[in-house]
Amino acid sequence: MTDWIQAHDAPSAPVELDTLDLASLAPGHHRIAIRLADDPAGRPVFAPALVAKGARPGPVFGITAAVHGNEINGMPTIHQLFKRIPPEELSGTVVGVTIVNLPGYLRFKRTFPDGTDLNRIMPGKADGNESQIYAYRVKTRILDGFDVLFDLHTASFGRVNTLYVRADMTHPETAALARAVGPQIIVHNAGGDGSVRGTVASQGKPAVTVEIGDPQVVDGAKIRASRIGIRDAMEQLGMLPPDDQVAPHNAVECTSSQWLYTEAGGVLDVPVVLAQRLKRGETIAYLYDAWGAKLRTYHAPFDAIVVGKSTNPVARAGARIVHLGVVGAP
Ligand SMILES: [Zn+2]
């Protein structure tokens, strides 16, 4: 081995499980691989997961990441969180699935290999097509074992997000956990959209989506903030004693949000900044043609806060411009 490579102790091989069988695990930390499918060569397709099983009983707190395969930030968030979960201080069990959509992850893609968005087809179908079967197994082998869900995402390609949370704020336990995370913005969203969060929420369980920055990157500051906030949510549930780090509690809460789209193609410039408060009529974007002539100026259609925005200047007709939140309580 060359002198610039330092070897560390080999970690224990992950334990392969066909389903998230927490009863079979002793108190402590575990590295597991939950088998979800077989590829055409017969190799297992699995979801890597960390489990911290506490010394005392309590809820199963589930965290999922990379349901969209190129949304990486959730994975190091789980890694860092688990370094701060001593099983002897834990009541209940924490499960962190670092990659739900392994086939998408391997291709640097948001979607499943058949082009389907797994976060729109939950709970899938036991006898469906490729992505429906996979979604069904994610639900039955992983999600159904959770009492609480935190689903970690990022923006999509060509867009940036604030650190924001989507949750059904009319569900009191969900609302309390969403606030515990201490994001910049909380958007009320009831679910019912075929999402992982919606599937768990439809069972009456608290379920929160956390949007952590941008795709296919590791963003240290947003990961740290998310890690502190998710740990605070566990503390609020009585699963862990308070530590010395507390998320800020100054989130702007929104009743709804919507994207604005271009209606023409061109070169898009979106000069607003993330979390900027906008008055109705304020300028939010410009569209130019390929010769530099200004084609359109876009204005805020209502008083809003900028939840996310496009960073890709190459705009087709129907390109996303900004994601605007409507400030208020549902
Ligand atoms: Zn996502």
Average pLDDT in the chain: 96
Q: How far apart are CA 75 and CA 99, in angstroms?
A: 7
> If you measure from the C-alpha of residue 172 to the centroid of ligand 1, how many angstroms do you get, rounded to a whole number?
24
Section 39-52 average pLDDT: 95
> If you measure from the C-alpha of residue 285 to the centroid of ligand 1, how many angstroms do you get, rounded to a whole number?
25
Q: In 3D, which of 166, 157, 153, 162 has the Cα closest to residue 273?
A: 162
pLDDT for 24 equals: 87
> If you measure from the C-alpha of residue 165 to the centroid of ligand 1, how many angstroms do you get, rounded to a whole number?
12
> If you measure from the C-alpha of residue 210 to the centroid of ligand 1, how many angstroms do you get, rounded to a whole number?
9
**To 10 degrees, what angle do helices 220-236 and 74-82 make?**
50
Say yes or no to pLDDT of 329 above 90. Answer: no
Q: How far apart are CA 181 and CA 165, in angstroms?
A: 8
CATH of segment(s) 15-236? 3.40.630.10
> If you measure from the C-alpha of residue 120 to the centroid of ligand 1, how many angstroms do you get, rounded to a whole number?
10
The percentage of residues in the chain with a pLDDT greater than 90, rounded to a whole number, is: 90
Section 302-312 average pLDDT: 96
> If you measure from the C-alpha of residue 160 to the centroid of ligand 1, how many angstroms do you get, rounded to a whole number?
12
> If you measure from the C-alpha of residue 146 to the centroid of ligand 1, how many angstroms do you get, rounded to a whole number?
20
> If you measure from the C-alpha of residue 111 to the centroid of ligand 1, how many angstroms do you get, rounded to a whole number?
9
> If you measure from the C-alpha of residue 154 to the centroid of ligand 1, how many angstroms do you get, rounded to a whole number?
5
217, 220, 226, 228 alpha-carbon torsion, rounded to 10°: 160
* Best CATH choice for the domain 256-327 from the list 1.10.3720.10, 2.60.120.10, 3.10.20.30, 2.40.50.100: 2.40.50.100
Say yes or no to pLDDT of 42 above 80. Answer: yes
Q: In 3D, which of 236, 241, 95, 94 has the Cα closest to residue 179?
A: 236
| pLDDT band at residue 192 under the 50/70/90 scheme | confident
- What residues does 16 pair with on adjacent strands? 33
One-letter identity of residue 279: K
The percentage of residues in the chain with a pLDDT greater than 70, rounded to a whole number, is: 100
Most trustworthy range by pLDDT among 6-10, 12-16, 137-141: 137-141
> If you measure from the C-alpha of residue 86 to the centroid of ligand 1, how many angstroms do you get, rounded to a whole number?
29
> If you measure from the C-alpha of residue 124 to the centroid of ligand 1, how many angstroms do you get, rounded to a whole number?
17
Q: How far apart are CA 199 and CA 121, in angstroms?
A: 10
Q: Which of 16-30, 124-138, 280-294 has the weakest average pLDDT?
A: 16-30
Section 192-218 average pLDDT: 95
> If you measure from the C-alpha of residue 213 to the centroid of ligand 1, how many angstroms do you get, rounded to a whole number?
10
Contact 321, 171 (CB under 8 A): no
Which of left, alpha, beta for 275 (phi over 0: left; psi -120 to 50: alpha)?
A: left
pLDDT tens figures, 242-272: 999 999 999 999 999 999 999 999 999 999 9
- Apex CA 310: angle with CA 100 and CA 209, to 5°? 35
| pLDDT band at residue 10 under the 50/70/90 scheme | confident
Q: What are the backbone dihedrals phi and psi of residue 298, each rounded to the nearest 5 degrees, phi first?
A: -105, 140
Domains 15-236 and 256-327 share a fold: no
Q: What is the 3-state secondary structure (H, E, C) of the chain?
A: CCCCCCCCCCCCCCEEECCCCHHHCCCEEEEEEEEEEECCCCCEEEEEEEEEECCEEEEEEEEEECCCCCCCCHHHHHHHHHCCCCHHHCEEEEEEECCCCHHHHHCCCCCCCCCCCHHHCCCCCCCCCHHHHHHHHHHHHCHHHCCEEEEEECCCCCEEECCEEEECCCCHHHHHHHHHHCCCEEEECCCCCCCHHHHHHCCCCCEEEEECCCCCCCCHHHHHHHHHHHHHHHHHCCCCCCCCCCCCCCCEEEEEEEEEECCCCEEEECCCCCCCEECCCCEEEEEECCCCCEEEEEECCCCEEEEEEECCCEECCCCEEEEEEEECCC
> If you measure from the C-alpha of residue 5 to the centroid of ligand 1, how many angstroms do you get, rounded to a whole number?
34
> If you measure from the C-alpha of residue 80 to the centroid of ligand 1, how many angstroms do you get, rounded to a whole number?
20
> If you measure from the C-alpha of residue 68 to the centroid of ligand 1, how many angstroms do you get, rounded to a whole number?
5
> If you measure from the C-alpha of residue 94 to the centroid of ligand 1, how many angstroms do you get, rounded to a whole number?
21
| pLDDT band at residue 1 under the 50/70/90 scheme | low
pLDDT tens figures, 147-168: 999 999 999 999 999 999 999 9
> If you measure from the C-alpha of residue 212 to the centroid of ligand 1, how many angstroms do you get, rounded to a whole number?
9
pLDDT for 7 equals: 86
| pLDDT band at residue 131 under the 50/70/90 scheme | very high
* Tokens read off for 212: 């952590």
> If you measure from the C-alpha of residue 126 to the centroid of ligand 1, how many angstroms do you get, rounded to a whole number?
23
| pLDDT band at residue 174 under the 50/70/90 scheme | very high
> If you measure from the C-alpha of residue 23 to the centroid of ligand 1, how many angstroms do you get, rounded to a whole number?
30
Give the residue extent of every domain in the chain: 15-236, 256-327
Q: How far apart are CA 102 and CA 111, in angstroms?
A: 10
pLDDT for 11 equals: 86
Section 125-138 average pLDDT: 97
pLDDT for 162 equals: 93
